[in-house]
Structure 1
Amino acid sequence: MMVFGFLLFLSLFALIGISSVLHSRGTKKDYYLASSSIPPSLVGLSAVATNNSGYMFIGVIGYTYVTGLASIWLMIGWILGDMTAATMVHRRLRAATERTGEVSYAGVLSAWNGSRNVALQRIAGVVTLIFLLAYAGAQLVAGSKALHVLFGWPEWAGAVIGAVLVAVYCFSGGIRASIWTDAAQSVVMILAMGLLLFVATTSVGGVSGAIQQMGQVEGFLDWFPKGLILPGLLGGLLFAVSWGFAGLSVAGQPHVMVRFMTLDCKTKMMRAKFWYYLWFIVFYAAATAVGMLSRIYLSDTGTFAELALPMMAQELLPPFLVGLILAGVFAATMSTADSVVLSCSSAVTHDLLPQNIEKTWILKVTTVLITVFALGWALLNKQSVFSLVIMAWSGLASAFAPLLIYLCFGGKPGHKTAVFSMLSGLAVALLWRWAGWHNMIYEGMPGILSGLLILLVSSRLLPQKT
């Protein structure tokens, strides 16, 4: 019954994605932007399902299992930072997409103020491809880990299944298939997480019983994590602010931002945000609560803290509902993997190749090849899902978010300045991680600030582009 429930939901996702081919218009803009015809509800649900991926089901729950109550600052900071980014960029990005006629995130940035910055588009395409391949690999790894625990299948099996499904429906309908399946997957994700939260809380005697048992784990209910860069409240606040930059980093994520570029009318952006944040807040709070409860049920996961959710589901639920939980995990991984694969495909066909490719069969073949590369990366890499996602997320944010924010506020950087700020922000974030300081402060914070600083200083010292 467990396998049946799992396969039932996967088949549903595949059918929804494949059916989108009936609405295809056979153009490049339709394949990558759904001809900017997606209603606000689907935009919001797709964007939030893409944002809250295997990272949430596997990475955040594993982090909460280890960290305890202090992980709440990650949630608060991330959501507030995301809201800040939305206020600054979503509406302006959608307007720029319409104005420039571009179909990729890098393309919109490069043509924002009229004349195209070809060097910026090419370099942004390379950065997008490298980091999003790592991101896609992390999603496939997350699905593999869950399957390995629940079914005892080889660790490569989940990655292969996820890659095949993503390739099939992205080949069929492009981003429209991705958005439709994202919406269905978001429903399964929230049902799976809500079910596990309800059963787990009830089984320990309600909220009061859960808090009492958590208090017996040393340091688990501390408000701030250990090893902060500064002691006490000040260090805790800096920790929370740094994760606010992780939320702000959504502005630099091509696979999330492109969802808002598909909105059918820029005046409907508030409705899309409503759907996005309603789901986001409820789901993130539930995931954090489940992560804390998992410490009660699983006093020792060995070295596999990131597998806390599937292990707890197996202990608490009947087989069919365990299949639902696994489908939720897989839904989360695929909702991001398909988005990432399509963003990589657009980076290759629209940003990197010298000729403007319009034939959809070439776009589709490119998408399949990207999926194969992501699968290979997933099978060869052994890092944790949390670590992989944060590295890719911070790298993309440090490269792109400063420039996008600057452009949204009317900035007109010179071509060389734009490229320099992008590469400098990325370099700072990577060096911060290499030095090991990311455990104290999220590396996207210094990366984003350094990129913004370069743009602001250059605006004072150099003539602005006209």
Structure 2
Amino acid sequence: MSASNPTLITFVIYIAAMVLIGFMAYRSTNNLSDYILGGRSLGSVVTALSAGASDMSGWLLMGLPGAIYMSGLSESWIAIGLIVGAYLNWLFVAGRLRVQTEHNGDALTLPDYFSSRFEDKSGLLRIISAVVILVFFTIYCASGIVAGARLFESTFGMSYETALWAGAAATIAYTFVGGFLAVSWTDTVQATLMIFALILTPIIVLLATGGVDTTFLAIEAQDPSNFDMLKGTTFIGIISLMGWGLGYFGQPHILARFMAADSVKSIANARRISMTWMILCLGGTVAVGFFGIAYFSAHPEVAGPVTENHERVFIELAKILFNPWIAGVLLSAILAAVMSTLSCQLLVCSSALTEDFYKAFLRKSASQVELVWVGRAMVLLVALVAIALAANPENRVLGLVSYAWAGFGAAFGPVVLISVIWKKMTRDGALAGILVGAITVIVWKHFEVLGLYEIIPGFIFASLAIYLVSLMGQPSTGMVQRFEAAEKDFHLNK
């Protein structure tokens, strides 16, 4: 398909704006703390929207609407699980992690926090957690690059190879130049674009299909079971979909937003903004897929692309129902979702390589300017590896993305959650939690036990391992004192 000028121009303007924000952030990036965490200067609005945008990738505008379009409301259990998980993460982890990282060596990364919180002189906790981050996030980055390439390929008729570089170049550019501030500021713009697209599109689809009553009658006529939340589900299936919410406690790119907030006082307001944004976006996503059933059953002559690939339901509705200029803005929302997640993952990988390997083991006396440039070089390195993995979109390694979320959720989630609420947790308990969580996910996925999503047993077994192993030892006096000081700080300032 040849690119219509309005859509192409809109994409170019959008990408140019993101890169410009990167150069603006460059002027505020003076040291590694600025590059990795924005100097802990994010206000509540940026903290909230960047946390939301970094979480929701292209899946929000392609995968979930497509699943709802195919199967009806029974696919929406995952959205419910994500909302509950995200809320609990904001409630129990966000503020406490912000304070604990500051009290534990002003930690800039999760491995840095684990190492300081548990006084790990061996470096084992830092190395294991940094390796887990690098392996899973490089694969995650590759999947984001594939999603961006598919968008450019289908929208502008490019070859996959050209689309691969076109989709990745802008994200790499602003992440490389501006670091965390660029990623957070662009995430805020991208989150705004995503919510605009997901509120406007279902309203226009509803109007195009004749209003609420007509739309619901058409969906029921197509298949009455579309309204059945339990259609084709089992108890284990519902629990597995809801279990996605557990992943939030261990996602490094989301936790980094909490660590970067300007103060604990910002967290409560950020929670309210972020949860409102998330509920509206997920509601809009479900509505796009659901109302799309009525629209394409009434207009079978334009349903071909959606019948061929149900994940195109949002793309096709935007192109059919809107002026090309507005359609360009709406399609940019998909690019925004892909770019916001990819940029965060690139930066987390870069910070793991720079702070947890280069500075910790190779150049302890490195200057701040040197560390910032090493961080930028690591963004390029990880991006090139991810592009190499994405060069063949059928590459089996991309299948690992399906349980990378579970891997992070089970390996890091219980360690992060328990470390901020239980002062008696020990270094050996943390190590046991990371290893048991990661191994359980890999083994459970391999044997597909009971058909249960692997994050659930992984999270439970990791939590038990942390508790039991910690009871066998004793935290040092310094660990307990820092924990209590941070907890007191949290309650005084929340």
**Structures share fold, TM-score greater than 0.5:** yes
2:79 is aligned with 1:75: yes
Is 1:209–2:207 an aligned residue pair? Answer: no
Using the TM superposition, give the Cα deviation of residue 149 of structure 1 relative to its aligned residue in structure 2, in angstroms: 2.3
The one-letter code sitting in structure 1 at the alignment partner of 2:464 is: L
Match of 1:410 among 412, 415, 422: 422
8 Å Cα contact 1:149/1:307 also seen in 2 = no
Q: 2:431 aligns with which of 401, 419, 440?
A: 419
In structure 1, what is the Cα distance between the partners aligned to 2:346 and 2:325? 30
- Partner of residue 117 from structure 2, selected from 97, 100, 112: 112
User: Is the CA contact (8 Å cut-off) linking 1:29 and 1:35 kept in structure 2?
Assistant: yes
Q: 2:230 aligns with which of 224, 230, 251?
A: 224
Distance apart, 1:224 and its partner CA:
1.8
CA distance in 2 between partners of 1:384 and 1:91 (Å): 39
**Cα gap change, 1:208 to 1:140, in 2 (>3 Å):** farther
1:259 aligns with 2:260: no
Contact 2:50 2:257 in 1 (8 A): yes
- Distance of aligned partners of 1:177 and 1:415 in 2 relative to their CA distance in 1, 3 Å threshold: same
Q: Where does residue 336 of structure 2 map in the other structure?
A: 331
Q: Which residue of 2 aligns with 1:456?
A: 467
2:344 is aligned with 1:348: no
- Indicate which of 74, 85, 90 corresponds to 2:89: 85
Name 1:307's counterpart in structure 2. 312
1:158-203 deviations in whole A, cap 9, x for unaligned? Answer: 4322321122111211100100111111111111222221211111
> What is the aligned residue count?
455
The alignment status of 1:27 with 2:31, answered yes or no, reads yes
Cα separation, partners in 2 of 1:181 and 1:89, compared to 1, 3 Å: same
1:131 CA displacement:
0.8
Bigger mean CA deviation after superposition, 426-435 or 67-76: 426-435
Counterpart-to-counterpart distance in 2, 1:79 and 1:116: 38
Kept in 2: contact 1:253–1:393 (CA 8 A):
yes
Q: How much has 1:38 moved relative to structure 2?
A: 1.3
- CA distance 1:2–1:98, shift in 2 (3 Å): same
Judged with a 3 Å threshold, the aligned counterparts in structure 2 of structure 1 residues 399 and 196 are, in CA distance, closer, same or farther, namely same
Match of 1:433 in 2: 445
Distance 1:157 1:61 in 2: 27
Is contact 2:389-2:395 (8 Å) kept? no
Preserved contact between residue 118 and residue 426 of structure 2 (Cα < 8 Å) = no
Deviation at residue 383 of structure 1 after TM alignment:
7.4
Q: What SS class does the counterpart of residue 372 from structure 1 fall into?
A: helix
CA-to-aligned-CA distance 1:343-379 (integer Å, 9 cap, x gap) = 0001111223413454111111111111111222222
Judge conservation of contact 1:82–1:250 (CA < 8 Å) in 2: yes
> How many angstroms apart in 2 are the aligned matches of 1:428 and 1:335?
30
The verdict on how the C-alpha distance between 1:286 and 1:181 changes in structure 2, with shifts beyond 3 A counting, is same
1:386 CA drift (Å):
11
Distance in structure 2 (CA, Å) of the matches to 1:125 and 1:98: 19
Deviations along 1:228-255, whole A, 9 cap, x unmatched? 3xxxxxx1xx544443432231110101
Which residue pairs with 1:98 in the alignment?
102
Q: Which sections of structure 1, spanning at least 5 residues, go unmatched?
A: 229-234
Counterpart residue number, 1:361: 373
Question: Aligned match of 1:281 in 279, 292, 298?
Answer: 279
In structure 2, C-alpha distance between the alignment counterparts of 1:289 and 1:140, rounded to whole Å:
27
Using the TM superposition, name which of 272-281 and 416-425 deviates more. Answer: 416-425
Kindly name which structure, 1 or 2, has the bigger radius of gyration based on alpha carbons: 2
How many angstroms does 1:47 deviate by? 0.6
Deviation at 1:303, TM superposition (A): 5.0
**Percent of matched pairs sharing the same residue:** 27
Change (3 A) 1:437 1:56: farther
Aligned match of 1:272? 270
Report what 1:140 is aligned to.
145
Q: 1:132 to 1:376 in 2, by over 3 A?
A: same
What is residue 52 of structure 2 aligned with on the other side? 48
Q: How does 1:163-202 map to 2 (within 5 A)?
A: 163-202=168-207
Partner Cα distance (1:405, 1:303) in 2: 43
TM-score (norm: length of structure 2): 0.87
> Displacement of 1:381 after TM fit?
3.3
Counterpart AA for 1:222? D
C-alpha contact (below 8 Å) 1:139/1:385 kept by paired residues: no
Q: Which amino acid aligns with 2:45?
A: S
Is 83-92 or 143-152 further displaced after alignment? 143-152
Q: What amino acid is aligned across from residue 65 of structure 2 in structure 1?
A: I
The answer to whether the 8 Å contact 2:100/2:420 transfers is no
Compare 305-314 and 170-179 and name the one that shifted more.
Answer: 305-314
Q: Distance in 2 between matches of 1:383 and 1:281?
A: 34
The one-character-per-residue Cα deviations of 1:237-293 (angstroms, maximum 9, x if unpaired) are x54444343223111010111011111112221011122111111111101111222
Q: Is the 8 A contact 2:429 2:467 kept in 1?
A: no
